[in-house]
Amino acid sequence: MNKPLNLLQINASLYSGKGQSSLLSERFVNSFRASHGDVRVVTRDVAGDPVPHLDARRFGAFLAAPEARTPEQQAVVDYSDTLIDELRAADVIVLGLPLYNFGVPSQLKAYFDHVARAGVTFRYTADGPVGLITGKKVYVLAARGGLLAGTPLDTQTSYVRDFLRFIGIEDVEFVYAEGLAISADLKARAIEQANDSIARLAA
């Protein structure tokens, strides 16, 4: 009997399940489940259920020695551990990624800040940092109002790739749906092309 696949779906749209990036990620998850049979899905909506932004108090909890943590600090670490455990358990990660003001949503940045922990998801060595979250495949469904892919204004792609590589995830595939705010025709074509890519990648 084959072991079930674990899929972590992360959505970051302020429009929750109605955002274009969330709709694309949901379509990918449904197609993936249809093609792969027994798939266990955990959904993390970092906009609908926001990850707190990292501040000095929360960062101090990560730095405190385990035996010296206050109950409040331990709660912060436990929350971070929950997010990290979801990542560790996942075989496949699907990220619905909207573009806000030329960058990733601040809620997603907060999520990244809570899963990037020295000695837990990466470690520093004399040869540079080594990621500790390995063996994952990531599909990023990126929705944009304009046309940015391949231009200097697309800061998202390199940032997300670099962050995932930093914690050990090398296998990352992007699907773009762009020009969604330019015209109805361009939006329809972009979504159709994204859906074609989803059908191919999720098979």
Spell out the domain ranges in the chain.
5-202
Annotated binding site: 13
CA-CA distances (angstroms) from residue 24 to 6, 27, 114? 19, 5, 25
**pTM for the full model?**
0.95
Over the chain (203 residues), what is each successive 10-residue block's mean pLDDT? 88 93 98 94 96 97 96 98 98 97 96 97 96 98 96 96 98 98 97 97 95
CATH superfamily, domain 5-202, is Flavodoxin domain (3.40.50.360)
The annotated binding site for FMN is made up of 13
Q: Packing angle between helix 71-89 and helix 106-115, nearest 10 degrees?
A: 100
pLDDT of residue 1: 57
